[in-house]
Amino acid sequence: MQVKGTILSIETSCDDTSVALVRKEKNKIKILAQATASQIPLHRRYGGVVPEVAARAHAETILPVIREVFALAGIPKEKFARPPIAGIAVTCGSGLVTSLWVGVQAGKLLGWLWTTPLFGVNHIVGHIFSACIEQSYPQFPALALVVSGGHTELIWLRDAEHWKKIGATRDDAAGEALDKFAKMLGMPYPGGSEIARWAASGNPRAFAFPRPMLNDKSFDFSFAGLKTAGRTWCLAHKKISAQIKKDVCASYQAAVVEVLVAKTLAAAKKLKPKTILVGGGVSANELLRAELTTAVKKLPRTKLWLPNLKYTSDNAAMIGAAALFAPRRFATTWQKLVAKPDYELE
């Protein structure tokens, strides 16, 4: 099954209303246009995403954002009612159920109206293929590291349509551990990028934070213990100088990155993938990108693919890309398409 033509893709699984127009050209995924309405300012005052607030904002912005993408792609206004597209791809899970339903409902309605093929895409698979946007087709088998605010997973891909989770966090995601520690330090939500900013001129060896499950034989992760160590540190250091703040951010970030890199490398050494694909908001982290690059250089038969920074956090382009890479796995109909908040990778 091949999709010939442009796909309209929609992502509303958390706090970004994102829409893109995506197509495959000569084995390359091309993004014709993308528009994203971020809700970060809305949720900042609560220190995290409030599902009710997120769903309402998605409902208000989804149609304006779809229209914006059509305009960005140069589709004339008179064609908005029946645009030249070959399919619609929508994130149907996992994610916040009320947020997911807004995108799913929009996709169902437009799919029915335009009698166009529909794809219900897994959000994690979207993050996996974000590394392939505007690049050539990756070589399989591949190993993927998806690392975001809600996920920390290692996935084995026999090919683009057959994947298997081989490891995951047993408690908190890496991004959550960063966000929670940032919150304890009084930084604004989402704190991962703030920690990275402060860490840039800090000493990563100033404070000793645990590296949970570093020497465990499984490919699973655990970040709850690190988060607790962060809380204990904050209780013991009430008033801190700017330099101490930089040092503690660098030390905490180093612990997260060391575990992510070690586990990915252990899986790669055992399974010998041709490609390692990395995705998710935390894959924007400079230290993680640098350490992975250095580590994978030592594997002679494995290439590392990192996503363009534009596609690290939640975005619709990656959902369109996933539908183009795995159309058989995601093909559905407007009657069958539903939000699946716990959509697990099989």
Q: How far is the CB of 333 from ligand KG4 (least distance, A)?
A: 27
Residue type at position 240:
I
Closer to ligand KG4 at the Cβ: 149 or 167? 149
Structure tokens at 132: 């392939």
Q: Outline where DSSP puts E strands in 138-268.
A: 142-147, 152-159, 162-168
- Residue span binding Zn ion (CB under 5 A) among the ranges 108-116, 131-139, 263-271, 312-320: 312-320
Q: In this structure, are residues 337 and 107 in contact, taking their beta carbons and an 8 Å threshold? A: yes
291 binds Zn ion (CB under 5 A): no
Q: How far is the CB of 15 from ligand KG4 (least distance, A)?
A: 8
* Beta-ladder partners of 256: none
Over the window 232 to 271, marking each residue x when it contacts ligand KG4 by CB under 6 A and - when it does not, the resulting string is: ----------------------------------------
In whole angstroms, what is the distance from residue 123 CA to residue 98 CA? 15
179 binds Zn ion (CB under 5 A): no
Which listed residue (99, 313, 319, 326) binds ligand KG4 by CB under 6 A? 313
251 binds Zn ion (CB under 5 A): no
Phi, psi of 339 (to 5 degrees): -75, 135
4, 270, 313 from 276: Cα distances, Å: 27, 13, 18
The sheet with strand 7-11 has its strands ordered as 28-38, 16-25, 7-11, 87-93, 118-122, 331-332
In whole angstroms, what is the distance from residue 144 CA to residue 268 CA? 10
CA 264 to chain centre: 17
308 binds ligand KG4 (CB under 6 A): no
Closer to ligand KG4 at the Cβ: 22 or 85? 22
Q: How far is the CB of 26 from ligand KG4 (least distance, A)?
A: 29
Over the window 145 to 164, marking each residue x when it contacts Zn ion by CB under 5 A and - when it does not, the resulting string is: ---x----------------
Q: How far is the CB of 27 from ligand KG4 (least distance, A)?
A: 26
Helix axes of 224-236 and 242-271: crossing angle, nearest 10 degrees: 170
Residue 270 CB partners (closer than 8 Å, separation 6+):
none
Q: How far is the CB of 149 from Zn ion (least distance, A)?
A: 7
190 binds ligand KG4 (CB under 6 A): yes
Closer to ligand KG4 at the Cβ: 24 or 58? 58
SS3 342: coil
Closer to ligand KG4 at the Cβ: 83 or 172? 172
According to CB under 6 A, which residues from 140 to 169 bind ligand KG4? 148-150
Which listed residue (135, 193, 203, 308) binds ligand KG4 by CB under 6 A? 193
281 binds ligand KG4 (CB under 6 A): yes
Identify the helix (H) or strand (E) that includes residue 66.
helix 51-72
Q: How far is the CB of 58 from Zn ion (least distance, A)?
A: 15
DSSP code string of 257-307: HHHHHHHHHHHHHHH--SEEEEESGGGG-HHHHHHHHHHHHT-TT-EEE--
Identify the helix (H) or strand (E) that includes residue 10.
strand 7-11
126 binds ligand KG4 (CB under 6 A): no
- Going by the DSSP 8-state scheme, the letter that residue 169 receives in this structure is B
192 binds ligand KG4 (CB under 6 A): yes
Q: Quick one: CA torsion of 215, 284, 138, 104, rounded to 10 degrees?
A: 110
230 binds ligand KG4 (CB under 6 A): no
314 binds Zn ion (CB under 5 A): yes
Torsion sign, CA atoms 313, 314, 317, 321: positive
According to CB under 6 A, which residues from 7 to 66 bind ligand KG4? 14
* Interaction site with ligand KG4 (CB under 6 A): 14, 148-150, 175, 178-179, 190-193, 196, 280-282, 284-285, 313-314
* Interaction site with Zn ion (CB under 5 A): 148, 314
